[in-house]
Structure 1
Amino acid sequence: MARPMFSKVDEYGFERPENFNYQLHAEFMEKYMHILVKRGLRWATLKGKNKYARGNKLKRFIRKGVPIDLRPTVWMQVSGAQVRKENNSISYTDLKKNIGNPALIEMIKIDLPRTFPDNINFISQEYLIKQMFNVLATFAHQNSEVGYCQGLNYITGMLLLATKNEEVSFWLLKELVENILPKYSVTNMSGLLVDLDVLDELVKKFDPEVHRHIQKIGMPWAMVTTKWFICLFVEVLPTETVLRIWDCIFYEGSKIIFRVGLTLIKLHKVEILRTKELSELIACFKEMRNHKEVVDCHQFMT
C-alpha cells in the first residue's frame, strides 16, 4: 500500500524535525479538524458590542481555542492591548518614525536572520523580516527600560505569523512585555528570575519526587525552562499548541506558563525519573514536544 504524502512543514511554515511522527499528527488532525469546525460555530454565537466582555463564558471559549481568523481581534480585546492602542496619544505609524538609535538597530538586525531560519515564510517573504524589524525597533525605541532583548524576536515572529498584521503585533508585544510579563526582558531579568523560583516551589509542592530527582542531578531550572518564559514556548512545543497556550495567556496572564510547565512535567514524570545524569535530563526536557498529549493541543489544554 502506498504511504500517504505528508508535508515537511507545518501549517505556519515551520520545518518539521527529523523525528517528527507524521502518523500521530495525521491522526490528531483528523480529530482536531472536527473540533475546529465545532468551536468556530460556537464562537459565531457571540454577538453584540460586548461579546468579548470578560466572564466565565468567554474564559471557557478561550480555553477551548480561539479560531484562527478571530485571533488578532480576540487577543487585542481580551489582553487590554486594544484599549492601550486607543488611549495612546501617538499612533504606531508615528512611533515608527522615531527609529534612529544605531546601537539598537544593529542589535536587532543581527538577530533577524537567526529568527526562524527553518520557517519557509521568513525565508521566502522578505516583507515579514521587514515587519519584524519595524515592530522590534519601534518597541525598543519607545521603551527605554527594555530596549531590545533576545527572545522578543521569537515572540514578534510568532505574532506576525498568527495575526498577519504588523500594527496588531506591535501592540500585542507591548502588552506582553510591559503588562503580562513585567520585568522578564529588562537588563537584570528580575521578573524571570522570580518566576523561575516560583516554578521551583510549585514543582516542590505538587511533585516532590520529581523535585528531589532534579535537585539530586543538579539541574538549574533556568537551563531548561528559560525559553518557556522568555519565548512563551515558541520553538519548545508544536506551533498549534503554542498558539492555544497564547490564547489563554492573553486572557489569564502569566499563571498559564506555570500550569503548562507543571503539565509538561506531569506528562513526562516517568521519563524524568528514569534519567541518571544531567545530559539525559536535559534531553528529556527537549523531547517534550513529541509527547502524544502535547501534539494533541486540545487534550493538552484540557
Structure 2
Amino acid sequence: MESETNDNISITSQLHLNNSTNANDRVDSYGFEMPEGYESYEKMMAEYVAVLTRRSIKWSKLLQGKVHVEKNLKVKRYVRKGVPNEHRAQIWMAASGAQEQLEKNPGYYHSLLGTEQQHDAKLEETVRIDMHRTFPENVQFRNSSEPCLQKALYNVLLAYGHHNQAVGYCQGMNFIAGYLIIITKDEEKSFWLMDSLLGRILSDYYSPAMLGLKTDQEVLGELVRVKAPAVWQAMAQHNVMWTLVVSRWFICLYIDVLPVETVLRIWDCLFYEGSKILFRVALTLILHHQAEILQARSMVEVCERFKLITQGAFTYDCHTFMQEIFREPGSLSMATITKLRETCREHIVAETPPLTTHPH
C-alpha cells in the first residue's frame, strides 16, 4: 500500500537540478559540487567511463535479471573490479543480507515510522539537528531541491533509531544513510543496508561506548607495527594516538575523506567482504605515503600529513586505487584481524573505567 504521508519516497534515478543551482555550478552524477581542480577529475572519469561500460555489460550477463546473487569467486572478482551504479543497490542488498531481511520483515520499516505519537521526541530532535549539516555541498539535500532527500534521510535515521535503541543515533550515521539513499533511491532498502552495516558488518562502532571503533583503530596500529614499522615508530615518537588520525576514516567509512567514486568502490567490497576492507584502505594510504608521513617532525605535522595523504591523484583514480588496496598491504586474513580484535578489545576494556550510572 502506498503511504499517504510519503514516508517511503521513491526517488527518481535521474538527478533533478532546479533553480537552486545556477549554470556555473558543476555537480557530479551523485549531486555533489565538484571540488577545485575538477578538470583532472573529469579527465579521469572520462577514461573511467570506458571501464564502467565494459563492467556493466559483464554484470548484466552475470545477473540476467536475478534479484539474489550467490557469493562465489567470480562474483567476488567482479565486485573488486567495481559494481556499475545501475546494479549497485541490488549487489549491496544481496551481498550484505539486507535483501533477505527486507523480504523476511514486510512492512516492518513503515511500522517503525508509525504515528507521530509513537516517536521518541529526543531522538527526533537529535536527528533533525543534523539534517542541514548533511552534505550541504550536495544539491539533492538542499531544501530547494525537488525531491529533497532530507525527508528520506530523516525517515531512515528515525526508523533506525527506533529499531536499534541501544544505538539510537550518533553523528556520522547521517552521512552513511545519505550515501545509501543516493545510491538506492529507496528508504526501505537504505534502512536495511544500515541495519547490515551497523548491526553486523561494523558491530559496536556506533554503540555509546564505541568499543568496536576503538578496537579497530588499535588493530590498525598493530597492523602498521608489522607492515610499516617506521611509521609506527614515528607515531610513538611524536606521541600521536591512532584515534587522532584515523577515527574519521573509520566512523564515516571514508565519506568526506576520499572522493565519492572511490568511497563507493570501497563500499562495494565492504558489503561483499566485510570490515576487512577498511583496514586494506587505511594500510594502503599509509604504506603508499610512508615517505611523506616520516617527514613530519611533530604531532601537528603528523596529523597534517594524514589529512594530505587522502587527497590527490592517487585517491581520485579509483580503479587504480582499488587495485592497490589488494596488492600493497599484502596478505591480510580475517583470522588475523579477529585475533587482533580480541587482544585489542581486552586491552581497551581493562583500561576503561566503568561507566557511572547517574539517576535520571
- Provide the TM-score with structure 1 as the length reference: 0.93
Give the distance between the partners of 2:181 and 2:68, measured in 1 at CA: 25
Residue 40 of structure 1 aligns to a residue whose secondary structure is helix
Residue 40 (1) aligns with residue 59 (2): no
CA contact (8 A) 2:67 2:94 kept: no
Task: Pick from 189, 195, 209 the counterpart of residue 188 of structure 1.
Answer: 209
Residue 197 (1) aligns with residue 218 (2): yes
Give the distance between the partners of 2:134 and 2:71, measured in 1 at CA: 34
Deviation of 1:135 (Å): 0.2
Q: Which residue of 2 aligns with 1:230?
A: 251
Deviation of 1:8 (Å): 3.5
Q: Which residue of 2 aligns with 1:96?
A: 113
Q: Pairwise mapping of residues 152-231 of structure 1 onto structure 2 (< 5 A)?
A: 152-231=173-252
Worse overlay, 285-294 or 48-57: 48-57
Residue 69 (1) aligns with residue 86 (2): yes
Deviation string 1:140-161 (CA, Å, 9 cap, x unpaired) is 0111111111110010011111
Task: Pick from 19, 22, 28 the counterpart of residue 44 of structure 2.
Answer: 28
Give the distance between the partners of 1:291 and 1:269, measured in 2 at CA: 15
Q: Which residue of 2 aligns with 1:105?
A: 124
Task: Pick from 281, 291, 294 the counterpart of residue 302 of structure 2.
Answer: 281
Give the distance between the partners of 1:50 and 1:88, measured in 2 at CA: 17
CA contact (8 A) 1:104 1:148 kept: yes
Deviation of 1:52 (Å): 1.6
Change (3 A) 1:37 1:7: farther
Give the distance between the partners of 2:69 and 2:309, measured in 1 at CA: 33
- Count matched residues: 296
Task: Pick from 2, 6, 10 the counterpart of residue 28 of structure 2.
Answer: 10
Q: Which residue of 1 aligns with 2:74?
A: 57
Deviation string 1:14-64 (CA, Å, 9 cap, x unpaired) is 2334xx333432331222011001101111111455872100000000011
Worse overlay, 267-276 or 285-294: 285-294
Give the distance between the partners of 2:86 and 2:225, measured in 1 at CA: 40
Worse overlay, 162-171 or 281-290: 281-290
Aligned Cα RMSD in Å?
A: 1.9
Deviation of 1:6 (Å): 9.2
Change (3 A) 1:67 1:269: same
Deviation string 1:76-114 (CA, Å, 9 cap, x unpaired) is 001100111122265212221165110111111111111
Residue 11 of structure 1 aligns to a residue whose secondary structure is coil
Deviation string 1:227-281 (CA, Å, 9 cap, x unpaired) is 2111100000000000000000000000000000001112211111111122222
Q: Please, which runs of 5 or more residues in structure 2 have no aligned partner?
A: 1-22, 324-360
Give the distance between the partners of 1:35 and 1:89, measured in 2 at CA: 37
- Provide the TM-score with structure 2 as the length reference: 0.78
Residue 62 of structure 2 aligns to a residue whose secondary structure is coil
Give the distance between the partners of 1:113 and 1:244, measured in 2 at CA: 26
Worse overlay, 47-56 or 263-272: 47-56
Which one-letter code corresponds to 2:138 in the other structure? N
Q: Which residue of 1 aligns with 2:99?
A: 82
Q: Which residue of 1 aligns with 2:343?
A: none
Change (3 A) 1:7 1:240: farther
CA contact (8 A) 1:237 1:288 kept: no
Worse overlay, 270-279 or 69-78: 270-279
Residue 44 of structure 1 aligns to a residue whose secondary structure is helix
CA contact (8 A) 2:167 2:206 kept: yes
Deviation of 1:7 (Å): 6.1
Residue 30 of structure 2 aligns to a residue whose secondary structure is coil
CA contact (8 A) 2:33 2:137 kept: yes
- Percent identity at matched positions? 44
More helix by share: 1
Q: Pairwise mapping of residues 249-288 of structure 1 onto structure 2 (< 5 A)?
A: 249-288=270-309
Q: Which residue of 2 aligns with 1:120?
A: 139
Residue 289 of structure 1 aligns to a residue whose secondary structure is coil
Residue 233 of structure 1 aligns to a residue whose secondary structure is coil
CA contact (8 A) 2:67 2:90 kept: no
Change (3 A) 1:220 1:6: farther
Residue 132 of structure 2 aligns to a residue whose secondary structure is helix
Which one-letter code corresponds to 2:123 in the other structure? L
